[in-house]
Amino acid sequence: MPENELVEGLGLDEYQYGFIDDEAHVFRTRPGLSEEVVRQISKHKEEPEWMLEFRLKALKIYESKPMPTWGGDLSDLEATLDEIYFYVKPQDQMERSWDDVPSNIKNTFERLGIPEAEQKLLAGVGAQYESEMVYHSLKEEWASKGVIFDSIEDGLKNHPEIFREHFATVIPAADNKFAALNSAVWSGGSFVYVPKGVELETPLQAYFRVNQERMGQFERTMIIMEEGSQAHYIEGCTAPVYSTDSFHSGVIEIILKKDSRFRYTTIQNWSNNMYNLVTQRAVVNENATMEWLDGNLGSKLTMKYPSCYLVGEGAHGDIMSIAYASDGQHQDTGGKVVHVAPNTTSSITSKSISKGNGRSSYRGLCKVYEGANNARSNVECDALLINATARTDTYPYIEIEEKQATVGHEATVSRIGDTQLFYLMSRGLTKEEAMALIVRGFIEPIAKELPLEYAVELNRLIELEMEGSVG
Amino acid sequence: MSDTSILTITGLRAKVADEDLDILMGVDLEIRPGQIHTIMGPNGSGKSTLAKVLAGHPDYEVTGGDVVFNGQSILDLEPNERALAGMFLAFQYPTEIPGVSIANFLRTALQARLEDGEEVDLFDFQEELLDRMKLLDMDPAFAERPVNDGFSGGEKKRNEILQMAVLRPTLALMDETDSGLDIDALQIVANGVNTLREENPDMTVLLITHYQRMLNYIKPDAVHVMVGGRIVRSGGPEVAIALEEQGYADWKEQDKDEGQEEEQQQQVVTA
């Protein structure tokens, strides 16, 4: 069978979770963005004056910054932004018990496997539905240790001092155009605070999905790890299929104090009409370790570069990412490591898969400031092309001001070859099964870092997507 | 069953796909169940191509003749369908599949043999795999390594034998499995094949080799000499011994004459 016919049935573009619930929102702003919209959001959230001022200032910054011209193609985005709803509130109250969650929303969660997952492994769930947290639970023992795992809104309401002290310190509104936009209209997201010395063995998980056509999702997550604390936070996203463009622009700020350790795992599987522009950054203090594990599937365009600012001596940052670009998709992803202090170490491992006319770009920065002596960094990026029309690019930026630093960069590009396929088929595998196995092997070094149920889910997703439509 | 053939090749012609390069010029061969046949021949004689064509390699295009395996013509079957029908090709140059363990690969291959909805039982599989490795005197840790990734030549060939042991084919095509092996590795591979044959005397083997030395360890029922894309002589083990002494020189002369003929024919075609 011709290869182009085969690969039609291969990618992750045929979205599996494309189902839509009947909407039940109690309030939403008018489409498009204005000062009025920003004021309404703040009013509905009953925010303190300083937050309204922050939002309005951010709106001005957003309006003053030009649309980025590097990375992916954003030329259609401005028209899209005029049509989306910047705020949708699905219901009035935070839900604490599963029984109280409305049945259509519960139905969505059940189809995504949330309650089951919770029973097995997850100790706390903050699930974001549209722009608000509707379901939230936290194990008693954690609460007794002083761990806070809340919606970002409740973080602001209930812990105003900690909140204000850290908010927008890692990613200020002026950082980039989309960070400014998020700062103006943010809604939903998680607030996590782990006190000094507390180690969480089971992961915190937020599973959310966007569920309204033309609705922008501007979640804002803030995580504060006190000295010597340890935690793992998992966020998975899946969005239903729509015909018009949709937009997601999150901001994730993480602060790791001395000797703390934190891992942030994301698997995002957006519908293929989504612009996904996320700023996520961690400030890593003395001897602390930050790990980003980032999987990007779906979307029309993803621009996302998890970052570690290694500001304390001996700080360590790890960035591992998987990107899958199918027909009509561009994954512009990678990572940034900034070495500010001596004896800091970092590694970036990036794996991308491109299919059809899909394009994946690795874009990474390794910066070593003067004085960060003995800094060591290693970057490895591997691209797998499923067929000849797929595209991959590598944009590694390396800026070193310090003489005593070691920076390594290695990039490979490979293609699934007829010889590999024939070998596997001669053992009884169909062509799709053979391709799925090769892809799974390719991402294995990162997939093995995922919690078991996520690794299984990822493998299952790849297998499912390779079934069917082969004549 | 033993008086009918398991594999019948008649007038098989094949060329390199996308090129006007004929390789098989009309191969005839018949193998009965449980027999071991050897095909020997000089470099470029087409013996390796024959193995690949039988397994359905996409680099080659069949231009004539037929191959009947187990009573069924297989030329229209995909490589995986031929495998499910009971054929196994031990590769001359096995391919690397990074990140996929041998165990995982074999489990997937066994899964492919089940009906939709059925699943390989993980515990049964693990037990079976350990059992097969024990039979071949292999370290169980071997199955956890990624398929052929960073393997030595000998390890790659052992991996082929392990796959053969787990997948239990009715017909094993061994494509120059002995090439590039030192004498120890050669013995390990030959012992593996002999062990599997002892266990299942009905397993048929078509052994393609450049050297007679493999036949010191695996005793064939028939030896065929292939030159210029045809089988030019068939007989018992004595044929291999004669070849060892005289080489392929006599046959090569004949091959050259035919080659010139072919060239003239091709010129006519292109004109």
Look up the CATH number of the domain holding residue B256: 3.40.50.300
As separate numbers, helices (DSSP H) first and strands (DSSP E) second, chain B gives: 8, 10
Whole-number Å distance between alpha carbons of B225 and B114? 39
Give residue A124's pLDDT: 40
Q: What range does the domain containing B11 cover?
A: 7-94+153-162+169-270
What type of residue sits at position A346?
S
Pseudo-torsion of CA B83, B87, B88, B92, nearest 10°? -110
Residue A257 CA: distances (Å) to CA of A3, A305, A316, A344, A434: 52, 22, 12, 15, 46
Q: Identify which of A269, A55, A60, A92 has the alpha carbon closest to the alpha carbon of residue A167.
A: A55
**Mean pLDDT, range A391-414, rounded to an integer:** 93
Strand partners, A253: A222, A281
- For residue range A364-373, what is the model confidence (pLDDT) as tens digits? 999 999 999 9
At residue A343, the 3 state secondary structure works out as coil
To the nearest whole Å, the CA of A417 is away from the closest chain B CA by: 10
Residues B56, B180 within the same domain? yes
Closest chain A residue to B146 measured between Cα atoms? A441
Substitution target from B76, B88, B91, B100 for chain A, most A beta carbons within 10 A:
B100
Residues of B in contact with A418 (CB under 8 A): 58-59
Give residue B3's pLDDT: 56
Whole-number Å distance between alpha carbons of B49 and B63? 14
Residues B181, B225 within the same domain? yes
In a domain, A471, yes or no: no
Substitution target from B108, B163, B170 for chain A, most A beta carbons within 10 A:
B108
Whole-number Å distance between alpha carbons of A283 and A310? 6
Give residue B181's pLDDT: 81
CA B146 to chain centre: 23
Residues B87, B175 within the same domain? yes
Residues B71, B176 within the same domain? yes
Pseudo-torsion of CA B80, B105, B209, B23, nearest 10°? 40
Q: Are A270 and A302 in contact (CB under 8 A)?
A: yes
Residues B141, B236 within the same domain? no
Give residue A175's pLDDT: 94
In a domain, B245, yes or no: yes
Provide the mean pLDDT of chain B. 88
A441 vs B: CB within 8 A: yes
- For residue range A200-243, what is the model confidence (pLDDT) as tens digits? 887 887 654 344 433 457 889 999 999 999 999 988 655 444 44
Give residue A132's pLDDT: 45
Give residue A25's pLDDT: 61
Of B79, B88, B108, the CB nearest to A437: B108
Which residues of A, range 393-432, sit inside 8 Å of B by Cβ? 418-420, 422-431
Q: Which residues of A421-448 are buried (b: 16+ CB within 10 A; e: fewer)?
A: bbbbbbbbbbbbbbbbbbbbbbbbbbbe
Residues B77, B64 within the same domain? yes
Ranges A144-153, A291-300, A433-442, B249-258: which has the least confidence:
B249-258
In a domain, A232, yes or no: yes
**Mean pLDDT, range B227-249, rounded to an integer:** 85
DSSP-assigned letter for residue A362: E
Residues B123, B46 within the same domain? no
Q: What's the domain count of chain A?
A: 1
Q: Identify which of A384, A373, A385 has the alpha carbon closest to the alpha carbon of residue A345.
A: A373
Of A431, A433, A441, the CB nearest to B97: A441
Residues of A in contact with B147 (CB under 8 A): 441
Residues of B in contact with A383 (CB under 8 A): none
Residues B186, B120 within the same domain? no
Q: What's the domain count of chain B?
A: 2
* A100 has a pLDDT exceeding 60: no
Q: Are A428 and B84 a contacting pair at CB < 8 A?
A: yes
Residue A207 CA: distances (Å) to CA of A214, A225, A252: 20, 21, 15
Residue B255 CA: distances (Å) to CA of A445, B25, B267: 51, 11, 18
In a domain, B2, yes or no: no
In a domain, B1, yes or no: no
Whole-number Å distance between alpha carbons of B266 and A436? 42
In a domain, A273, yes or no: yes
Q: Identify which of A221, A312, A313 has the alpha carbon closest to the alpha carbon of residue A264.
A: A221
Q: What range does the domain containing A367 cover?
A: 3-466
Is the pLDDT higher at A90 or at B135? B135
Q: How many CB pairs under 8 A join A and B?
A: 77
To the nearest whole Å, the CA of B99 is away from the closest chain A CA by: 4
Residues B188, B266 within the same domain? yes
Provide the mean pLDDT of chain A. 81
Q: Are A428 and B56 a contacting pair at CB < 8 A?
A: no
- For residue range B70-91, what is the model confidence (pLDDT) as tens digits? 999 999 999 999 999 999 999 9
Give residue A35's pLDDT: 93
What type of residue sits at position B200?
N
Whole-number Å distance between alpha carbons of B258 and B145? 47
Residues B55, B139 within the same domain? no
Which residues of B, range 143-172, sit inside 8 Å of A by Cβ? 146-147, 163, 167
In a domain, B115, yes or no: yes
Label residue A109 by pLDDT band (50, 70, 90). low
Residues 6+ apart with CB under 8 A from A156: A47, A48, A51, A163, A167, A191
Residues B65, B146 within the same domain? no
Whole-number Å distance between alpha carbons of A299 and A239? 9
- DSSP assignment of A3-23: HHHHHHTTSTTS-TT---PPP
Residues B129, B254 within the same domain? no
B82 vs A: CB within 8 A: yes
Closest chain B residue to A439 measured between Cα atoms? B99
In a domain, A207, yes or no: yes
- For residue range A206-215, what is the model confidence (pLDDT) as tens digits? 654 344 433 4
Residues 6+ apart with CB under 8 A from A412: A381, A382, A383
Closest chain A residue to B84 measured between Cα atoms? A428
**Mean pLDDT, range B221-227, rounded to an integer:** 95
